[in-house]
Amino acid sequence: MSVKRAMLITPAHPERSTEAVATASEVARAAGVQLISTPDEHEKHLDAAAHIEKVADGERPDVCLVLGGDGSILYALRHFAHTDVPVFGINFGTIGFLAAIEREQLADGLERAFSGDFEVMDMPALTVDLQLDHAVALNDVSFLRQPHGRVAELSYTIGEEEVGSVRCDGLVAATPAGSTGYNLANSGPILAWGVKGYVVSFIAPHTLAARALVVAPDDALIVRNAAGREPVEISLDGAAAGELAPGAELEMRFRESVSKLAQLPGANFYHRIREKFGKLA
């Protein structure tokens, strides 16, 4: 693909990537690519951003370059949901499961991003019934009891059937990409990229019978907070998205091809699993 304008996104605490921002600016100029950023992003790297153009938040570049970890990549995927803008991540975080390349290959990664030398993978998401600008989750939707609050009492319904109801610390609905995150910590199954569907798991359930469930892609999930309990916090990909009040419910659905993730040609999900987490057994 032809790349003429690339938008830069870095973490909320961007100290580790400031030097890389300067390098990205130099490589972009040499490649004839205009590197752009929002005013907030520009403020993070004033000394290194002399040649980075400030643009409005709604700008749609040819590619979004993320110098950060999975959280920053997820933010970019949500920001550019329902557009054709691919997100190319260079890992400056801890795991970097979604990144196309590691920080040690920064120069090669920048050249690939600015030359369009990458493949684009369609990423599914969970859409939620919330009044937000980007009411989608590329990784997971989490329901968490409030700190120092009582144990939550959550239930979920699929196809008008209540499937699970238990006292717990919370509940997570995860896409295949997100199945290696919070869901994995809940002993839920890993879903390979390309699987159509999502997984629901309870967080610290107060029962020996709770099990994670893989849900078919066309089935809506409704999560309910029991009446008489306390509000539970809702987060989308780890970002606060509101509360679910006692007696209230929230519906979510699986949607295909919501965002675009850039990957190097020949990237393999199973190799990535072994590289990032080690052998499964």
User: How is residue 116 annotated by DSSP?
Assistant: T
In a domain, 269, yes or no: no
Mean pLDDT value of segment 222-226: 97
Residue 70 annotated as catalytic: yes
Q: Are residues 160 and 248 in the same domain?
A: yes
Backbone angles phi, psi at 149, to 5 degrees: -90, 175
Judge whether residue 30 has pLDDT over 90: yes
95 and 202 share one domain = no
Element (H, E) at 71: helix 70-79
pLDDT digits (tens, 9 = 90+) for 168-202: 999 999 999 999 999 999 999 999 999 999 999 99
Query: What pLDDT sits at residue 57?
Result: 81
- Residue 260 has phi, psi (to 5 degrees) of -120, 125
Q: Judge whether residue 220 has pLDDT over 80.
A: yes
What percent of the chain stands above pLDDT 90? 73
- Per-residue confidence band for 274, with pLDDT thresholds at 50, 70 and 90: confident
Are 15 and 63 in a shared domain?
yes
Q: What is the pLDDT of residue 49?
A: 67
- Domain hosting 239: range is 126-256
Q: Is the pLDDT of residue 94 over 90?
A: no
The model's pTM: 0.92
d(CA 73, CA 177): 12
Q: What is the CATH number of the domain that holds 60?
A: 3.40.50.10330
Same domain, 137 and 244: yes
Q: What is the pLDDT of residues 43-61, one digit of tens each?
A: 877 667 667 888 988 889 9
**Domain boundary pick from 95, 117, 139:** 117
- Reading the block at residue 109, the tokens are 């990664």
Number of domains in the chain: 2
Q: Determine what percent of the chain is predicted with pLDDT higher than 70.
A: 97
Of these residues, 57, 62, 70, 117, which one is catalytic? 70
Give the pLDDT of residue 46: 64
